[in-house]
Amino acid sequence: MLKTIRILFLLVVIITASTMIVTAADNSRIDVIRADGVINPVLVDYIERGINQAEEDNAIACIIQLDTPGGLDTSMRDIVQDIVSARIPIVVYVSPSGARSASAGVFITMAAHVAAMASNTAIGAAHPVSIGTEGEEAMSETMEEKVVNDAAAYIRSIAEAHGRNMEWAEKAVRESVSATEQEALELNVIDMVAPDLDSLISQLDGRQVTMLDGSIITLQTEGSTINYIEMNTMEDLLYAISDPNIAYILLSLATLGIMAEIFNPGLIFPGVIGGICGLLAFYSLGMLPVNYAGILLVILAFGLFIAEAFTASFGLFTAGGIISLVIGSLILFKGGPLFQVSPWLIAVITVIIFLISAFVIGSIIRTHRRQVTTGKEELIGKTALVKVTLKPEGIVLFRGERWLATSEQGNVKPGETVVINKVDGLKLYVSKLDK
């Protein structure tokens, strides 16, 4: 009995020790999120999920590897709030070499508890027009001034909260200034420069950061393991289709599929594909700063293409549709060059639509020029096979049907071929086929 108790006690000690070792291992982990691309709602969800997972797993810190040309103002503010309210230190690391933190990325970088950059990287150019607010070229001066002032105040507040250069931050918004990693370090825009992730983790060791509640955390990163939190399959898909060019392609495929189904009812496949692409396109458009006038022009264009197939305009509807499609495509998105559809893509889609429309118009013209093929007129000029001798009346076979026929050129024997010259009720008037 005593021996059994000792064994059980030993097992409890071993299990407890193993649990402590695993816990210690978990507590020495650093989670890494890779934010590469335009700042949009899909990236917001991914970063938020990554930070929450790092907090739940008691990670030492969470590193956001950032490489972005900018993005949407609302999405940027959501990410800043996630960073500021995080329960663990958040490190924003502009990397790899050649990366940039532009526009909305400047706000995110400066909101981090620790801001770092890799070699040969850049930060800056945070003017609101390129962030993707309500900005368009037609923005009034008064509205632009309000947007710029709001962004300047916001970035000054972020910089001040972390003891960073507020004057430079404001210039990044008002004057679109930029800086290299060494210039940013000298100007107190960032906290450190690290050539790679291992070097960054080494420099973080022993650094103190102040959290939102005023508590101070000393980072113990030496010997910690790195855990990458990647986008899941659905996030990858949604992030891919939130690109303006992909959204435009999906919208075009949706309309082409629906047009094909309308022109050829019962094909099913084009309609199904068009419907799926349409749903994905609507989601994608919801992630982007859409110009509704552009959407209406694109819809009008495809409406004109469909009308061409049912109306004998001989190209007028198609010409109007092409013009509407090109203009609508060019103004489909707002928010600066970051959200513009490639002119080459617009050209390719326009050419494809033109070729399809030309084929449809050609078919319509050929149909109008074709001999009438309905009623009695269809029989004139056609040939029939004599079944019962024409003396001059007899029976002929035409398209599997037996007709009463009268020969206009004397008797005709069975098996000979005759030409239909006239139709009178249910009687055909025929003549011998010239050989």
Q: CB-based contacts of 80: which residues, under 8 Å, 6+ apart?
A: 107, 108, 111, 158
Candidates 75, 95, 101, 103; catalytic one: 103
Q: In 3D, which of 61, 50, 60 has the Cα closest to residue 28?
A: 60
| Residue type, position 400, single letter | G
| Residue type, position 262, single letter | I
Candidates 85, 146, 382, 413; catalytic one: 146
CB 88 within 8 Å of CB 52: no
Angle between helices 244-263 and 292-310 (to 10 degrees): 20
Q: Report the alpha-carbon distance of residue 80 to residue 106 in Å, rounded.
A: 10
Q: Is 391 a catalytic residue?
A: no
Cα within 13 Å of Cα(348), Cβ side: 10
| 49 CB burial (10 A radius; 0-12, 13-18, 19+) | middle
Q: Is 103 a catalytic residue?
A: yes
Q: In 3D, which of 292, 322, 293 has the Cα closest to residue 305?
A: 322
CB 71 within 8 Å of CB 40: yes
- Alpha-carbon distances, residue 168 vs 81, 171, 175, 389 (angstroms): 22, 5, 10, 106
Give the catalytic positions in this structure. 103, 146
